[in-house]
Structure 1
Amino acid sequence: MNYGPVVEHMKKIASVLSVKINSDGSCGDICLEAANDLYLKSVNVSREDFRPGKPYTNYIPKDLNFEAMSYRCVLEQRMIHSYVNAEFYNAWMELYLMPMDSEDVDKKYFMFSYDMSPKVDANVLADISPDIASRVIRTTLKLRETDDFKKSIRGIMDDIRADCEANRGCILLTDFKARTCSVLCDSLSPDEHTPDMASYIDEGGYLRNPAEDHSMEDDNSDIAFFDIVETWADLIAGSNCYIVHDADELEKMKDISPIWYTSLKYAGVYNLVIYPLKANGETIGYIWVTNFNSDNTLNIKAILEVTSFILAAEISNYQLFRKLKILSDTDLLTGLLNRNAMNNRIADIVSGDSPFNGEYGVAFVDLNGLKAVNDKEGHIAGDNLLKAAASVLRDTFMENEIYRVGGDEFLVLVVGKTEQDFNNLVDDLRDVCEKSDTVKVAVGSYFGNSNVDIREAMHIADERMYKDKEEYYKKYPELKYRNSK
């Protein structure tokens, strides 16, 4: 049948494509059979260069997501509508795939049309069924239920997994500059017994086999999981998602991402839908579900399209807030908490927002001889001495709060230890610094309970530190003052 006249009368971008039906009922090559001038212009092909019946990849890059939609359209004889962020065109595309009648036994046909816009159209994105809209509203409300962002995200992922009737749902955060990734949340169905996602990535970010029998097909101990993550862009291929509907489609992944293919096969995955989370033009993570109800693929895709759009913005804001919080609370030279963080911590204790419920110890630590080092060797040497002191404090008071509160002054707050444990830590610090050739400190400490005002405890510790410092300078008076150059 000549489909040329059909598309030529369309006032929108339009084309007709064929899907080869193999003898076993599976789908094969997708070819472009007819196209109107608007379509050819959109793919930058002249009418003279257009040859009907050639693979669609002669005109646009291969797109696995588009192929999956094409197969579903002709096999299920249903119209497919989707709104995607198409990186290849640097635009958002509203896609329409409509099955057509055909007398061919070994081919099925569909009409393909789309609209493009450079920016997302909120009205189109929001044009979803009432059922999906209610789920999206639920997602938005859950983000506001609690100040605990990670708890909210876990609850949302549980809902998404349940809505998709999937065995697993996961959000993975990515940093392409640092080439790292981390699991934000992982939701498993109650009857799922495979390990959680974090079990597949070791502390160094490398792929590992979580099973005791180490029965994965290959030894992947030297493969960084981020190397797998980098292949996902090729699978998504400039579209907005990647869908594996069944085991046959999973096999097509093998050539593009063989290590991930092996990992998925090991985990018993037979279908998958994955969406990138994009914010400010960058991919900040991925959201996916596995072993979902494939009879409901279109609704699942619609759920993830909208929720991924919302979650990407929320996660980006959360990451920005954390970065700003870290910058405002961190001493940039030593990496310790700064005076601003200490003031906020003390204010929360005094106000009752974050009270002590038991005993605690506080220690003021002052670095001796910094002025002399600055004078004799310069401020770079002085900075290095401060960083060395910070390192000693971190090694001694591991997992406790350490603040740089002044030029050469530090505060240590120890909670949940006995008085003997606290005094042992202080003594360890004195011993290390006594043996050190560079880091010499004066220390004043106080141990009390929640009945003692933290400000009073700090005052006592500070006075004791100055007495200790006076004793040090009596012993080494040449270090007390700046030496003339």
Structure 2
Amino acid sequence: MDFQKFVDGFKTMTCVISVEILDDGSYGAIKIVTGNKPYIDSIEQVNPDAPEMLTHKFVPNLEYQNYFPKDLNFEDFCYRCAVKKEPLHTYIHPERFDFWFNIFMMPIDAGDEHIGYCTYSQELSQAPDTEKMSNISYEAASAVLNACIKLRGTDNFEKSMGDVLKDIREVCDADYGGILMIDFFTSKYSILCAALKDTNNTSMYKENWLTDDFYKIVDTWEDCIAGSNCLIIKNEHDMEVLHERNPLWYESLKAINIKSVLLFPLKNGCELLGYLWFSNFDTKNAVRLKETFELVSYFLASEISNYQLFDRFRIISTMDMLTGVFNRNEMNERVTQLSLDINPNRKNIGVIFADLNGLKRINDDQGHSAGDVLLKDAAKLLKEVFPDYEIFRAGGDEFMMLARDTTEESLNEKAAELKQKMETTECVRFAIGTCFDKDCNNIHLAMKIADGRMYEDKKLFYEKHPELRRSSERTIN
């Protein structure tokens, strides 16, 4: 068959691909037999409107890895089309290229029992085309639409994510499905939600797979995807490729009899948020699942990004950025909630005010940067002493701690512990005032009493240590 004459009949960038058929039915070498002029030009001519290849010289019948890195998804499509005679279409954005690919593949019957052939045609764009993204099968569209409805159907973020994950785990009939979040700053991961076919296997995953040092493996996943848009491990051949790329992960999968994996990065623009992944799935439907989860992962990443953005805004609006404790706005909101609580079974509440002595003098003598260090040290001590309390920065040098369902004895013990521990520090000294409000009858009165006791304690402190007053106060006095 004259493949050159055949492929020259295509107007779009098109090549002919050959796939070696091995005796056991698997595939061997995958080669680019020839291409039409637009396709060859995309390799040989440097063009900002086309992806950069590994070489700028096209040679007929070379393995595809001469032009771009090994890609299991590409190989699977070539095998299915050239050998299994399945016409295929996909619209993808491989991470290695700054382009979207609209790909059409059609099988060719060349009468060769040992080599299968197919056409590969591509259209390129630097921006995504939403119409092409939504041009998917009925089954994929149904799963994606169902996921979107559930994501927007509740205010409970984790529940909606869990519901969607449960549904799509059933779609791919996987033993395990999970959404894993990554924090590159702290080098930690967390499981946002998980879904299992057999809930009795939960401990197996936790004990043998999701261990404390699992981040070391997670950190390698991006390299395993190797510039593609996902990683699909379907069979022993794919497992061997994974073994070459990542022996550590390969061994951890083998340890708990994982034979197949779907792994989709969850990205917001260029920012990697985490991964959607499944193990031991129905590999017969790999193409349909890839089509489905490419879109599902897009919407999941968008929802996660929005939630994280909202959470950052919430933190900014409720936290004191310098000390890491709640700010005055959040304190006022909390006090309002407590004051409006009409539940007859209200719990006791303990109030502690702590004013940082000597801060103004340090600001005057050493500068505000030194004062900021003192405030951070003070907040660190408060977090250590009051791990179960709500801690607020009420003002410049003033903190308030609230404890629900406490006792007066426990409250006084905590105040005494703070006094004891601050003596072990170099500079942190608090004036302290407490009040125990039984049944939280009047939170405002309790705060007023604790505040008054704190200022009495502060007065006694400066009577003992007048040298710690700021210079202007010593002059006036």
* Length-normalised TM-score, structure 1: 0.89
**Deviates further, 230-239 or 440-449:** 230-239
The question of 1:189 aligning with 2:178 is answered no
In 1, Cα distance between the equivalents of 2:342 and 2:321? 27
Distance 1:49 1:443 in 2: 78
Cα distance, 1:354–1:87 mapped onto 2, change above 3 Å: farther
**Residue deviations 1:197-221, cap 9 Å, x none?**
6654555xx23xxxxxxxxxxxxxx
Q: How far off is 1:55 after superposition?
A: 0.7
Q: CA deviation at 1:321?
A: 1.8
Residue 162 of structure 1: how far off its partner (Å): 1.0
Superposed displacement of residue 481, structure 1: 4.1
Q: Which residue of 1 aligns with 2:335?
A: 346
Letter paired with 1:94: N
Cα deviation for residue 333 of structure 1 reads 2.2
Task: Give the C-alpha shift of residue 235 in structure 1.
Answer: 2.9
Q: 1:127 aligns with which of 132, 135, 139?
A: 135
SS in 1 for 2:403: strand
Are residues 1:301 and 2:272 paired?
Answer: no
- Partner SS state of residue 460, structure 2: helix
CA distance in 2 between counterparts of 1:141 and 1:293 reads 25
Q: Deviations over 1:409-444 (max 9, x none)?
A: 000011233332222112211222345442221111
Give % identity.
Answer: 39
CA distance in 2 between counterparts of 1:84 and 1:117 reads 11
C-alpha change, 1:474 and 1:419, in structure 2 (3 Å) is: same
CA distance in 2, matches of 1:301, 1:354: 52
Normalized per residue, the structure richer in helix is 2
Shift of 1:29: 0.6
Q: 1:318 aligns with which of 269, 285, 307?
A: 307
Map of 1:172 onto structure 2: 180
8 Å CA contact 2:407–2:436 kept in 1: the answer is no
Q: 2:248 aligns with which of 259, 262, 265?
A: 259
**Aligned with residue 407 of structure 1, among 396, 401, 411:** 396
Q: How does 1:219-298 map to 2 (within 5 A)?
A: 225-226=215-216, 228-298=217-287
Residue 53, structure 1, aligned to residue 61, structure 2: yes
Amino acid at match of 1:302: E
Instruction: Indicate the larger mover: 82-91 or 186-195.
Output: 186-195
Q: Residue 307 of structure 1: CA displacement? A: 0.6
Contact 1:21 1:28 in 2 (8 A): yes
In structure 2, the partner of 1:211 is: none
1:394-433 alignment, distance < 5 Å: 394-433=383-422
For 2:44 and 2:183, locate their aligned partners in 1 and report how far apart those are by CA, in whole Å. 35
- For the 8 Å contact 1:64–1:237, the answer to whether it is kept is no
The residue number in structure 1 matching 2:70 is: 62
Alignment of 1:2-151 (within 5 A): 2-44=2-44, 49-151=57-159
What do you get for the CA RMSD once the two structures are aligned?
A: 2.6
For the structure 1 residues 132 and 348, does the alpha-carbon distance in structure 2 shift closer, same or farther, using more than 3 Å as the test?
farther
Alpha-carbon distance in structure 1 between the residues aligned to 2:290 and 2:405? 48
Structure 2 unaligned segments of length 5 or more: list them: 47-55
Q: Counterpart of 1:214?
A: none
Secondary structure at the counterpart of residue 82 of structure 1? strand
What are structure 1's unaligned runs of at least 5 residues? Answer: 208-224
- Structure 1 CA distance for aligned equivalents of residues 173 and 407 of structure 2: 50
When structure 1 is superposed on structure 2, of 6-15 and 474-483 the one drifting more is: 474-483
Structure 1 pair 78–367 and aligned structure 2 pair: CA distance change class (3 A): same
Q: How far apart are 1:65 and its partner, in Å?
A: 1.4
Distance 1:78 1:424, change over 3 A: same
| Partner in structure 2 of residue 222 of structure 1 | none
CA 1:61–1:45: 2 relative to 1, 3 Å: farther
Query: What is residue 464 of structure 1 aligned with on the other side?
Result: 453
Structure 1 CA distance for aligned equivalents of residues 21 and 161 of structure 2:
42
- Asked if structure 2 preserves the Cα contact closer than 8 Å seen for 1:84 and 1:92, the reply is yes
Match of 2:28, as an amino acid? G
The AA in structure 2 aligned to 1:365 is: A
CA distance in 2 between partners of 1:236 and 1:450 (Å): 58
| C-alpha contact 2:19 2:83 (8 A) present in aligned 1 | no
Q: Given the superposition, is the C-alpha separation of residues 116 and 197 from structure 1 closer, same or farther in structure 2, using an over 3 Å criterion?
A: farther
Cα gap change, 1:319/1:463 in structure 2, threshold over 3 Å: closer, same or farther? same
Distance 2:205 2:177 in 1: 10
* Distance in 2 separating the partners of 1:109 and 1:188: 40
Equivalent position amino acid for 1:166 in 2: A
Structure 1 window deviating more from structure 2 (433-442 vs 27-36): it is 433-442
Kept after mapping to 1: 8 A contact 2:83/2:117: no
Go from structure 1 to structure 2 and tell me whether the alpha carbon gap of 1:169 and 1:371 turns closer, same or farther (over 3 Å shift): same
Tell me which residue corresponds to 1:213. Answer: none
The 1-side partners of 2:286 and 2:451 are apart by: 65
CA contact (8 A) 1:136 1:303 kept: yes
Aligned counterparts of 1:376 and 1:309: Cα–Cα separation in 2: 55
**Partner Cα separation in structure 2 for residue 229 and residue 191 of structure 1:** 23
Q: Residues 363-402 of structure 1, C-alpha deviation per residue, up to 9 Å, x if partnerless?
A: 1111122223333443333222222221221111013211
Which sits farther off after the overlay, 111-120 or 430-439? 430-439
